[in-house]
Amino acid sequence: MYRPSVLLLALLQGQASAHTFIWGVFVNGVDQGLFKGIRTPAYNGPPGGGGFANSPVKDLGSIDLRCNVLGDIPAPDTIKVQPGDNLTFDWKHNYRNGSDDIIDKSHHGPSLVYISPDPPAENSFVKLWHQGLYEIASFPQPGKWSTTSNLAKNGGRMSIRIPKDLKAGYYLIRAEMIALHEGDADFRKSPMRGAQFYPNCVQIEVTGDGAVELPEGVSFPGAYSHDDPGVVHNKQTAPCRTAYEIPGPTVWSGAWQETTSAPAGEITGGSTAPLWSTWIKQSVVTSATFADRASPTVVGTSTFSAQWSSTYQTPAPATKRW
């Protein structure tokens, strides 16, 4: 079966319909570079056709809920960290600079971060942090939500710390935003609507001599249900509630109770992404060449299905994502 090269998973520079995803990772305030260590979601739809990365995922039974579309394909690099290090994920919409709006202002919802050994196994994702509706307001005001009132207004920066004394090894960080602007509908009954999930995975290698192992966690798919009150949620009724129930498990007791963001240094590797040459829609991968941005010439198509390995797949150091 055709496996799309990560060389082809390039983004369309300046295209206006991209949804939010991680563009970079800071370790203790030091930027690791544009898209380094990140399993960047595939684009959905060809250039000029309204395609965007991070589709989003709405089917809670889909393997794409784990690390998004093509999330089983390793990024070509892994970020080295130590227990206690501060990781800051830099979420962006169109550009990696101060002019970016991070996420549409209507996309209120919670933010969550999980960690799992790499590769993931059954019930291997452990929650490190979450934030949902943290200030209730009177209708029609939406109140303060993590995605729009915290992350979007703080430059898209989402921070966690590597758990204390975590055992050395390879891990996936699964960071996520959930948008509830259409979450009043159940996706199973209204496939054109439903809560929108934006998961993104980052590859890390924890070093050191820690001995703490992760406890049993949850699976993706499997951790969320369309019957969860935090998945099908009508924001207009929020003032009648005392709190919003964030989907998924509780935060692991071994996670840091508080995470103070490290001051972020200079961004490296550029602030815009190059033209893409591959996109995927309804499991069909299309590759193309370009005479110009608006006129791709299709050179091949194939059907894609995720093939998650049960053993660690070392990224090929010679392969570059962009």
Which residues have C-beta within 8 Å of that of residue 243, sequence separation ≥ 6?
132, 133
49: confidence class by pLDDT, cuts 50, 70, 90 = low
Q: Which of 45-54, 137-146, 246-255 has the lowest mean pLDDT?
A: 45-54
Segments in the chain forming alpha helices (H): 64-67
Residue 7, pLDDT score: 36
Provide mean pLDDT across the span 56-71.
Answer: 94
Q: Which stretch, 13-17, 285-289, 293-297, has highest mean pLDDT?
A: 285-289
Cα separation, 14 vs 273, in Å, equals 8
User: What DSSP state is assigned to residue 150?
Assistant: I
Cα separation, 172 vs 67, in Å, equals 9
Name the residue with higher pLDDT: 4 or 230.
Answer: 230
For the entire predicted model, the pTM comes to: 0.90
Provide mean pLDDT across the span 61-88.
Answer: 95
Cα separation, 219 vs 251, in Å, equals 15
Q: Say what percent of the chain tops pLDDT 90.
A: 66
Residues paired with 175 in a beta bridge: 113, 200
CB 22 within 8 A of CB 102: no
Instruction: Show the domains of the chain with their CATH numbers.
Output: 6-303 (2.70.50.70)
Provide mean pLDDT across the span 247-251.
Answer: 98
Whether residue 311 is predicted with pLDDT greater than 60 in this model: the reply is: yes
271: closest CA among 144, 100, 153? 100
pLDDT in tens, 99-130: 999 999 999 999 999 999 999 999 999 999 99
Cα separation, 167 vs 213, in Å, equals 6
pLDDT in tens, 157-178: 999 999 999 999 999 999 999 9
202: closest CA among 246, 158, 258? 158
CA atoms in the 13 A half-sphere facing the CB of 165: 4
